[in-house]
Structure formats: structure tokens, C-alpha cells
Amino acid sequence: MNTLGELFNQSVQKNGDCAALGFVNEKPYSYNDVSLKVNQVINLLDLLGVERGDKVAILSSNQPNWGVAYFAITKMDAVAVPILPDFHEEEVENVLSHSGAKALFISESLFRKVENISVPELQHRIIIEQFALVPEGVPADELPKLKTSLNENVQVEKDFKVEKDDLASIIYTSGTTGKSKGVMLTHNNLVFTAKMAAKIHHMDSSDRLLSVLPLSHTYENTIAFILPFMLGASIYYMKKPPTPSVLLPALKKIKPTVMLTVPLIIEKVYKGSVLPTINAKSITRSLYKFSPTRKLLNRVAGKKLYKTFGGELKFFGIGGAKLDPTVEQFLIEGKFPYAVGYGLTETAPLLAGFDSFKGKHQSTGPAMEGVTLKINNPDPVTGEGEIWAKGENVMKGYYKEPELTKEVLTEDGWFKTGDLGAFDADGYLFIRGRLKNMIVGASGENIYPEEIEAIINRFQYVLESVVVQQKGKLVAMVHFNMEELQKRFEDLKEQANQLIDNHVEELKKELQYYVNSRVNKFSKLQTVIFHAEPFEKTATKKIKRFLYY
């Protein structure tokens, strides 16, 4: 099993009548249903002249037909180009143009992003909800009236010869460092990752996964779609963004056994639900300061959180960025079944990870089986250095960017991750931060802004922060929780705004003292700047740091 088609066929054969893909409150497609739909979409693409190696883009919100389109494209040896729904119109046009996409599957809600763009190679636009071809000039409000273009009599699968090293997907990174790059992933890259990830946490047809991250990101694409599909699990999607009012009923309905998320989501839950409950009473607030009673309070809160997530979770995967140490401590003491993984789009994506209850605080776990990790040129004292990776999941390169590819892939096959880290005696990897983010102090010291930000983000009323160097000084840009501040002063309506402004100034001073009393002398903050708006983020909720340098 080395291609997505082989993976697909084996799973359909084994799990035919089991639930495969569905919306939360609707009857899901079975594996047999998905197979039939995939064959019909292959037939449509074949009739439209899509051939081996042609690029076919998907710009869609998460839904069952996203998976149908993806498998149809890759099974016929064309190349899937998933596009993040949050990309701006200009970014979408750039991806379609750069990839040379011949056809595009698009959801009705995102059609406005391509309504006025001009990409010469793009010949066909297909509404993904009903697989309907869009005639030239049809306005967005007419899309729901279009009828399916599928031939529902097509049932026999056409034979396509796909090799494991054929290109399966080009994923354009949303990158925190600027320009998006097209990462070329082969069939083998993706299938290998799924097979090895299954050894970290196994699933079967009794498992239910609730999908909350965009399928066009390789993290969700491989670990929350290809992997569970390979193992016969059922995957459910929501028709609206996962706000609490949408997510909570979905959790109650599906009772997921598996979920994947990013640190920001669980950190918001901790700061928005767990901490306020503990701080609401002076007795619990005081008890939370002492280790034995804190553990008891976290255990109680952990049980409550587990029930909120449906009460049947076995695996709550967290990846995409570093997890706040205080939040991780809560998850450990609350006996919540969290797991952490580390990887990049360029490695399809997983490089290291651990299963529920097998982690170490602030570690991403050991290298995944079949992957070799090393610290290149480690510091003789700390053992820290850039993480290099080798394995069958390392990308083919960046599409149409040979020079960029040479910068990150060595001649003997090592991929330079750009992340700084070190191993402990048990082979567990600990990430320090991005090499590009590291700040060199006045006397040559290595300063990791992510570590300072972790301290800042623990401070009361802080939602998020970015630490940068300006004119040789460390500066923290901080986004406070203004809603909480407003609640504090809501009884004093006329004076509220002035009081809030004054309190923000006081908080900035308190925060600077709080941080500087907890970091080494060369990591001390010189200035704290109030940042009124939330910071811009990538699909996995990492702050786009390059915008704030």
C-alpha cells in the first residue's frame, strides 16, 4: 500500500458498509457510497480532459465532498491543490496561476473569491456541494440552482497506473515567514506518514473523529482525514465555524473518540472556562497556588472538560505550534487524553509525537517510526541546534522553486526544518523555537521569543503576544482581553473607558515587572506595547510574526 488509490481501495473493501464521511446532523456516506461518488467524479474529470499530472484545485470549507474530490483527483494520478479557505482573493489567484490548475472544486460560500479572477489555464469550475459545472458568467446567487454534472450510472472504476513517487498534492503554505510556497508531496510521502502515525495511535471502525481544522492544511489532511479513512473510522464535519454554540452540540451528538486541534483552541478553553471558575472564589483561588490542592482542582476541572468533549475521547491531538506550559500542566494533572505531535507541511507532516498519557511536559515526543531526526551542529553546552529530518515523508521539493528547494534539502536527503531543539536522554524532542525567530542579544546570547511569550501569555488579561527586537531592545506587543476588562468596570459606565485606559497602562507596567522577574537578564523586556486588534494568524493559528517585525 504505497499510493492513495491503494489505501482507498483497501479501506473500502474492508469497511464498505461502515460510516465514512458526514455532516454532524445528517446521515453519513458509507465507504461504499464514497467509492461510488469517487468513480463518478473521476468520470467527470476524465470527460473534462483532466489527465495524469494535471493540477486540480480544491477551495472549499470542510465537508464530505471535499474528501470525495481529493480521492478522485489523486486516484486518477492528477495532482490535488488544496487551497486554504482563509486565503485572500489575490492569494487564491496566485495559487491557481502558479500551480497551473486546470480545474477547481469550489464551495458555494467561497465562489466570490474566484468570481472576478482571470487564470488562463483554469478551464473548469465545479461547485463541490452537488458537483455541478459552472457555466461562464453565472452569478453566485444562481449556484444553488445548478444541477449535478455527475453521471450517476457510472459505477465501474477506470484503471489508472499510479506510482508511489508520483506527485499527489501541492500544498501552499500559509507560512509565518512571508511568501507562500508550493510543497510537493508524493503518494508515498502521504501514505507513509499515515501508516507510521497509525503506530502512535491506532483507530478502527468504532472510532469517530470530529473535524475542526481546515482540510486544506496538511496536518488535518493527513492525520484527520487520510489516516482515519485508512483505518475505517468515521469523520464528521460541521456546516458552520466551530464557535462554542456550534461545537458544543456537535460534541454531544458525535461523542468523538478522536479530535485534532491547535494550542490556541485548548488554551482559550483553559483561560475562558477553567481559570475563571477557579478564580471566581477566593478559597479556590488561594488553593490553586499550592501544588497538592492545584492537582486536585485540575483533576476536577479535567473531568468536567472531558464530559464537555463528549465523554468518550481517547486521543486529543495538539499540533501546529508549541503548547503553553501551564495549559499542558493542567491537561496532565486533569488526566485529559491529550497528545502532542511535531512536523511541517514539508514532511507530510508528522516527524515526532506521542500517544495519550505517554508524553513528557513540553516535549513533542520521540521521532516517529521510520523517521530519523538529528540536531545539526549542536551547542556543546546545551545540546541545542537546528533539527534535521530524514524519511520517506520528506517532500519532493517546492514547486517551480529549485533554488528554494536546495536551501532546505541537502544532497544526501536531510531536510532542514528551521526549528531549534534538543533531545533528552530518552530520545524525546524539545522544541525551543524557530531559527528565524531567534534573537541574538548584545553579547551574543540566544534569546527565544516564544519562551518569553509563554510567560507573558500566563499574565492576567493577556490573550496573546509577540516579542520582537527593535533598535537592539526587546519589545513585547500584547493583545489584552478587553471584554474581561470591560466587565470589570461595567458598573461605572461613564468613567469606564477612562478606567480601562488607565488600567491597561497599569497592566503594561505590571506585566513588564512580572516577565522581567522570571527571565534571565538578557531576555528582559524594555517596552510593552498595547496591541488593540488580535494578531493575524495562519491556518493552524500561529501568529504571522513577519508582519510585526
As a whole number of Å, the end-to-end CA separation of the chain is 46
- Report how far apart, in Å, the C-alpha atoms of 250 and of each of 24, 211, 246, 414 are: 6, 10, 7, 42
Give the span between the Cα atoms of 442 and 464, in whole angstroms: 26
Q: CA nearest 186: which of 92, 77, 276?
A: 77
Beta strands, E only, 314-399: 315-318, 338-343, 350-353, 372-376, 385-390, 397-398
Cell of 84: 486554504
pLDDT tens digits for range 83-106:
999 888 888 999 999 999 999 999
Beta bridge partners of 182: 172
Beta strand 124-127 with 103-106: parallel, antiparallel or unpaired? parallel
**All structural domains of the chain with their residue ranges:** 4-186, 262-434, 439-548
Place of cell 492544511: 217
pLDDT, mean of residues 510-537:
93
343-371 burial string, b = 16+ CB within 10 Å, else e?
bbbbbbbbbbbbbbeebbebbbbbbbeeb
Q: CA nearest 220: which of 357, 185, 354, 228?
A: 228
Give the span between the Cα atoms of 545 and 548, in whole angstroms: 5
Given this chain, do its domains 262-434 and 439-548 carry the same CATH topology? Answer: no
Residue range 439-548, CATH number: 3.30.300.30
pLDDT, mean of residues 338-350:
97
pLDDT, mean of residues 169-188:
82
Prediction pTM value? 0.91
Among the CATH numbers 3.30.2320.50, 3.40.50.980, 3.40.309.10, 3.10.50.40, which is that of 4-186? 3.40.50.980
pLDDT tens digits for range 472-481:
889 999 999 8
Residue 18 near residue 232, CB atoms below 8 Å: yes
pLDDT tens digits for range 2-44:
999 999 999 999 999 999 999 999 999 999 999 999 999 999 9
Q: Which fold has domain 262-434?
A: Rossmann fold (3.40.50)
Evaluate if residue 412 carries a pLDDT over 80.
yes
Q: State residue 484's pLDDT score.
A: 81
Q: State residue 494's pLDDT score.
A: 56
Residue 267 near residue 275, CB atoms below 8 Å: no
DSSP reduced 3-state for 307: helix
Q: Name the more confident of 437 and 257.
A: 257
Q: Which of 151-155, 211-215, 506-510, 525-529 has the least mean pLDDT?
A: 151-155
